[in-house]
Amino acid sequence: MTIRIGILGYGNLGRGVEMAIRQNDDMELVAVFTRRNPADLKIATESAAVLSIDEAKNMTDKIDVMIICGGSATDLPVLTPQFASMFNVIDSFDTHAKIPQHFAAVNETASKSGKVAIISCGWDPGMFSINRLYSNCVLPDGKDYTFWGKGVSQGHSDAIRRIDGVIDARQYTIPVESALEAVRSGKNPELSTRQKHIRECFVVACDDADKERIEREIKQMPNYFADYDTTVHFITMDEMKRDHAALPHGGFVIRCGRTGANGENSHIIEYSLKLDSNPEFTSSVLCAYARAAFKMNLEGARGCKTPFDVAPAYLSPLSGDEIRATLL
Amino acid sequence: MTIRIGILGYGNLGRGVEMAIRQNDDMELVAVFTRRNPADLKIATESAAVLSIDEAKNMTDKIDVMIICGGSATDLPVLTPQFASMFNVIDSFDTHAKIPQHFAAVNETASKSGKVAIISCGWDPGMFSINRLYSNCVLPDGKDYTFWGKGVSQGHSDAIRRIDGVIDARQYTIPVESALEAVRSGKNPELSTRQKHIRECFVVACDDADKERIEREIKQMPNYFADYDTTVHFITMDEMKRDHAALPHGGFVIRCGRTGANGENSHIIEYSLKLDSNPEFTSSVLCAYARAAFKMNLEGARGCKTPFDVAPAYLSPLSGDEIRATLL
C-alpha cells in the first residue's frame, strides 16, 4: 500500500520532506500546497502537483497524511488544528512551553474529524523527548541532562540580525565538554546555564558600524546571551557564505540513575545526535511519523497524539514479524 | 492505583526486580514464587510472601503482573507461555534467534487468557532494539552498528569454566575504540567480528593445571573466541573475588544515515549504556514494562507484545498531561 502525502509549506522543512519521501518506498508525494502563487513555485518531484493552500479542502480523498511544514510561532498554532479537521496531520511544533495548549487545540478538531494528528515530531521535541521519557521510566531514581549542539540556533542568529548595524549573523550553541564529562562520570553535578553551553557568534557588520557596541549588545541581550559565555567574531560576507552556509545541529540527552538496595550501582543512558542538516533530519522524523499516523488511523485511532503515544512499530514500513526477526 | 507485582524466580534478576519495585511508588511486591522450598528463601521485602511456584494459580486475583525472572535457554520458553495463561506477564527473553518462536508460543496462551505478555524487555533485546528501530525508520538510507561492552559476558565466562583445570573465570567483552571512532565519523565502515570487539579473560586455574593448554583451548574455542583477538590472564581466587565480583555491562547502538537530494548530508544517531549492574538495569526495564502491561490490559489489549508494540507513555507513572508538560 502506498501512503499518499501532502506537504503544506515549501521552506527548508518542506523541501526536506520532499527528499525524505524518496527514501521511503511506501510513500508518494501527491502535492505541495503553498500560500504563495503556485505558478511561482518549482519543486523537485515532477509527478507531484503544486497547489494553492485553498485547494487542499478539495483533496481530502487524494491525500492520506498532510505534513505541515511551518513555523511554531505563528503558522502551526493556526494550520495544524485547521488541517486536522480534514486530514491526518503531522507537525514539528517545537515551542515546549506551549505544547499543552497546542495539543488541546489540535485534539479538538482531530477528535471531531476522526483523524490522527501527531504533533512535535522532530528531534527536540521528538527523539530527545522519547529518550527522556524512556530513561526516566527505566531509572526513576536519577537526573536528566540535555545538551544542545554543536549547532546553529536560528532564533539566536535572528536575534543578532535585529541589532542595528548587523547585516548577517550565525550563532552556534556549543556544549561545554567538561560539563558533558562530569555528567558522564555519574557524579550528577548541578550545572548552571553558563556551565552547560557556550555561544559563539559570527557577525557581518556594516562598514561604518561600531563593532564594540554590537558585541556589547549581543553579550548583554537578556534570555538569549546574558546568561552565557559568549564569543563574537566579525567576518566578511564572503566568509559567512563560504564557512557558515550549512545548518548542522545535534546534542545529547543523558540520564544518570542509581539502583540497588542502597543505590550502590550507577547507570548512564546517553542518546546523541550529530546532524549535518537540522531541517533534513527533522523532515525525516516527520515522514516516519506520517506513516504512523496513517497506520494508527486505519486501526481506528483518532485525535491528537505526540511521539509518546506512538508505539515504535508504527513508524516502520516492515511487518511485526519482520521487525521482531531482524531488529529485536 | 497500586500495581500488584509477583516475581517468579529469585536469582540476580528477581532480586533486582524486588529492589526496582521500591523505586516505583505505584508498585507493590505481593509475592515471590520459587521452585525451591519457600521456607529456605529469605527475601528483602517483609510485607511480601514467599510461595511455591505451584501456588501461583491460586493468586490470579491478587497479582496484576507476574515478572518472570528466569533464563532464556530452558526457563522462559516454558514459564512465559504457561503463566501468560493466568497473568499479565513480562520477561527478558534474550535469545535473538528464537524470539519469533517464543513470541508465537506466548501469543497463543495470552490471546486465549485475555492477558498481555511483553517479552524481551531488557537492554538487548529491549532498549537497544527500540533504538535500532527508531533509527532505521528515521534514517532509511543508512547502516546500523551495535557494540557491546565493556562488560562481563556470562555465557563466555561459563564456557571458560567448562575447560578442564579451570576453577573460575570472568570474560569481558570490549568494543574496539578505533572501530567506534570509524563508525562515529560517518564513514560507514565494513567491520569484521574481530575488528569490532576484543575479549579479555581472567582465569583461576588449578595449581597443577597446564596454563598454556587452557589458554590455547580458550583462544581456539569456536563461536566463542576463535573469531576474536583474545587475551588471557591467570589470577588468584582472591584477586577474582576482589576485582571481578561486579557484573557491569553496556554498549552502543549507532546508525549513520544520509539525506538530501544526493545523500550529501550525514547524520549520526548514537545510543549508549554504561551499567554498573547488568541484572539490576534489566530488572528496572522489566518493572517499567510491567506498568505498561498493566495499563494496556486495562485498556483491552491482549496477546504477546514486544517493546516495539508499546507506546512510550505506557511506561510512565505520570499522566499524558504531565509527560507532555515536563518531558516533551
Chain A contact for B234 (CB, 8 A cutoff) = no
Asked whether the beta carbons of B198 and B230 are under 8 A apart, the reply is: yes
Residue A44 DSSP code = S
Percentage above 90 pLDDT, chain A: 98
The pLDDT assigned to A150 comes to 96
Exposed, middle or buried by CB within 10 Å (0-12, 13-18, 19+), for B74?
exposed
Tell me the C-alpha distance between B285 and B293, whole Å: 12
All residues of chain A having their beta carbon less than 8 Å from the beta carbon of residue B16 are: 259
B277 and A288 within 8 Å at the Cβ level: the answer is no
Contacts of A1 (CB under 8 A, 6+ apart): A26
Sequence-distant contacts of A230-236: CB under 8 A, at least 24 apart: A230/A198, A230/A199, A230/A200, A230/A201, A231/A198, A231/A199, A231/A200, A231/A201, A232/A201, A232/A203, A233/A200, A233/A201, A233/A202, A233/A203, A234/A203, A234/A204, A234/A205, A235/A202, A235/A203, A235/A204, A236/A204
The overall average pLDDT reported for chain A is 97
A291 and B137 within 8 Å at the Cβ level: the answer is yes
Chain A contact for B222 (CB, 8 A cutoff) = no
- Closest chain B residue to A12, measured at CA: B260
pLDDT tens string A155-202 = 899 999 999 999 999 999 999 999 999 999 988 999 999 999 999 999
Tell me the C-alpha distance between B76 and A159, whole Å: 59
Asked whether the beta carbons of A26 and A84 are under 8 A apart, the reply is: no
User: What's this model's pTM, rounded to 2 decimal places?
Assistant: 0.96
B134 and A315 within 8 Å at the Cβ level: the answer is yes
Distance from CA of B136 to the nearest CA of A (A): 8
Chain B contact for A263 (CB, 8 A cutoff) = no
B270 and A269 within 8 Å at the Cβ level: the answer is no
Q: ipTM of this predicted complex?
A: 0.96
All residues of chain A having their beta carbon less than 8 Å from the beta carbon of residue B308 are: 311-313, 320, 323-324, 327-328
All residues of chain A having their beta carbon less than 8 Å from the beta carbon of residue B306 are: 324, 328
The residue among B138, B277, B318 with the most chain A CBs within 10 A of its CB, best to mutate, is: B138
Chain A contact for B308 (CB, 8 A cutoff) = yes
Q: What angle do CA B101, B105, B109 make, to 5 degrees?
A: 165
In chain A, which among 281-300 make CB contacts under 8 A with chain B? 281, 283-285, 288, 291
Chains A, B: CB pairs < 8 Å: 210
Distance from CA of A320 to the nearest CA of B (A): 8
The partner residue sitting opposite B96, judged by closest CB among A103, A288, A328, is: A328
Q: What are phi and psi of A265, to 5 degrees?
A: -110, 135
Q: Is the pLDDT of residue A1 over 90?
A: no
Question: Residue A62 CB: number of other CB atoms within 10 A?
Answer: 11
Asked whether the beta carbons of B196 and B176 are under 8 A apart, the reply is: yes
Q: What are phi and psi of B217, to 5 degrees?
A: -60, -40
Asked whether the beta carbons of B233 and B202 are under 8 A apart, the reply is: yes
- Closest chain A residue to B321, measured at CA: A100
Tell me the C-alpha distance between B56 and B68, whole Å: 12
The pLDDT assigned to B186 comes to 87
When pLDDT is averaged across residues A61-90 and rounded to a whole number, the result is: 97
A136 and B316 within 8 Å at the Cβ level: the answer is yes
Distance from CA of A271 to the nearest CA of B (A): 4
Distance from CA of A291 to the nearest CA of B (A): 10
Asked whether the beta carbons of A232 and A166 are under 8 A apart, the reply is: no
Place A275 in a pLDDT band, splitting at 50, 70 and 90. very high
3-state DSSP call for residue A203? strand
Chain A contact for B35 (CB, 8 A cutoff) = no
DSSP string computed for B217-241:
HHHH-TTTTTTSEEEEEE--HHHHH
What distances in angstroms separate CA B241 from CA A204, B86, B167, B170, B202, one per listed residue?
A: 64, 42, 13, 11, 11
All residues of chain B having their beta carbon less than 8 Å from the beta carbon of residue A96 are: 328
CA nearest to B119, candidates B98, B146, B145, B144 = B98
| CA-derived radius of gyration, chain B | 22
The partner residue sitting opposite B308, judged by closest CB among A267, A308, A323, is: A323
**How is the beta sheet containing A197-205 ordered, strand by strand?**
A151-152, A166-175, A197-205, A229-234
B306 and A324 within 8 Å at the Cβ level: the answer is yes
The pLDDT assigned to A270 comes to 98
Sign of CA dihedral A293, A297, A298, A300: positive
Distance from CA of B101 to the nearest CA of A (A): 10
Tell me the C-alpha distance between B277 and B249, whole Å: 7
The partner residue sitting opposite A313, judged by closest CB among B264, B283, B308, is: B308
What is the enclosing helix (H) or strand (E) of B271? strand B265-275
Chain A contact for B245 (CB, 8 A cutoff) = no
The pLDDT assigned to B49 comes to 98
pLDDT tens string A279-326 = 999 999 999 999 999 999 999 999 999 999 999 999 999 999 999 999
Q: How long a stretch of residues is chain B?
A: 328
The pLDDT assigned to B187 comes to 86
Residue ranges for chain B with pLDDT beneath 70: none
**Crossing angle (nearest 10°) for helices B127-138 and A127-138:** 170
Asked whether the beta carbons of A172 and A185 are under 8 A apart, the reply is: no
pLDDT tens string A86-137 = 999 999 999 999 999 999 999 999 999 999 999 999 999 999 999 999 999 9
B328 and A20 within 8 Å at the Cβ level: the answer is no
Distance from CA of A191 to the nearest CA of B (A): 19
3-state DSSP call for residue B194? helix
Distance from CA of B188 to the nearest CA of A (A): 15
B134's grid cell: 527508531
DSSP string computed for B81-138:
HHHHTTSEEE-----GGGHHHHHHHHHHHHHHHT-EEE---BBTTBHHHHHHHHHHHH
CA nearest to A126, candidates A308, A293, A317 = A308
Asked whether the beta carbons of B19 and B43 are under 8 A apart, the reply is: no
pLDDT tens string A7-16 = 999 999 999 9
